[in-house]
Structure 1
Amino acid sequence: MRVAKYLEVKELSVYVDSQLVANQFNGIFEAHDESMQKYLKLVQELALDFDIFQIMQVSRTLNKKADALSKLAALTFSHFKREIWVEEVKVKFIDTDRVSAAVEEDERSWMTPIVEFLNTGTLPLDSTEARKIKMKTPIYLLDKGILYRKSFLGPHLRCLNPTQAESIIREVHEGMCTLHSGHKIVASIIMRLGYYCPSMYRDVVEVIRKCRSCQLHAQMGNWDQLKSGTTDNIRGIGIC
């Protein structure tokens, strides 16, 4: 429901194999458990954002694909050729105030001149910098106050300032299954997630340099290149 709301979907039909969940929302069953009452209230609030919203129960035998996807986080399929991304929800939504913003633009950064030019046509006083901004601007898009980098082969990428970039890099490098992957892999994952920063690769290398686990377990040849700054041929830095 959160994803559909973000994508501005107006009509949504949800199929679940839980008779309890479907009938509680449809008013056939009552929610007695305190936790279920909170979830029901949350779903009812989210349902107001759609013109049409319905939950329907289907038998588990007719819901095999969805059931398999729901278990991917706990299973490993080495024969899969395509990557399947799984969101790990660490905190129950009923236990949060739901006032959160994953990306806050609260400081001046490389994005500020571009945003100001797109908003008001304002350019830096320095003629050289002003020319650079004019040349860069066509590949950026400002939508509802958020800056995106246009992409012709995929979705537009949300731009990040250095603080935001470091936070997301640490989450991907240290938080997602604690893989501690190399800088190219981490940067690639972040771009696939839909984020962009012009100094992404350099920022990732800096985070890896400060990662204690990577310092302990990285291959010595790769680590020497990382310290010297020659990272072009490094593969798998810091894989623990």
Structure 2
Amino acid sequence: MEDGEGPTKQTTREDMAPDSAEQSDKMHWTLHVDGSAGETGRGAGVVLHGLEGFTLEYALRLDFKASNNEVEYEALLAGLSLATELGAGKLKVYSDSQLIVNQVNGIYEAKGPRMKRYLQKVKEKLQRMREVEILQVPRDMNNRADALSKMASEETHDFGTILTEILPHPSIDEVQVLEIPPGPNWMDPIMRYLKDGVLPEDKLEARRLTARAAHYLVHGPRLYKRSYT
């Protein structure tokens, strides 16, 4: 009405939905994964976004023969491992692979012994997490993970400050591992200082430690070196 009088508009469920969804997303960690298999090699890209603006980019080069779908599974497994290690409680996973997403969600059946083993490996990791949702997105909404996977597939690419690793064998293969007893290492004093504020009694060593620790941060059980970003 022109004079401004009249019934006040009531708030509806539709009015509240966007804000509620936005608040819900802030409570979740988000994980984007993608795999790339081509003539130059095979790679996986992972982008993990955590709480308070935490972001981790990870490129994984696969040093073995693998199909496109197997590479996509390796990307998903790598991302779930990182999210678990960093303590992600609620996690939303985004992948542009329709096959992998639907197999994990039980819509498609995994065919072939290798695909079944990959699916079983993913389910084992999901059981260790509190709340996980796996969604399919268009490739253009997964572009950073896609770029990392393509970079990882190129053997000569320079990753700069991006966390990288070479996977020598498929994750579904059993590999004998020789366990090394844990012992003191160079990270221990930095971890104690960053977590508990403990410094050496020697003032010179204390100054050196504080200067060195400024280049690192602790997230979960791991020590990370700060990058330019």
Superposition TM-score, scaled by structure 2 size = 0.45
Give the structure with the higher percent strand. 2
Superposition TM-score, scaled by structure 1 size = 0.43
- Determine which structure has greater relative contact order: mean sequence separation of CA pairs < 8 Å that are 6+ residues apart, divided by chain length: 2
Give the structure with the higher percent helix. 1
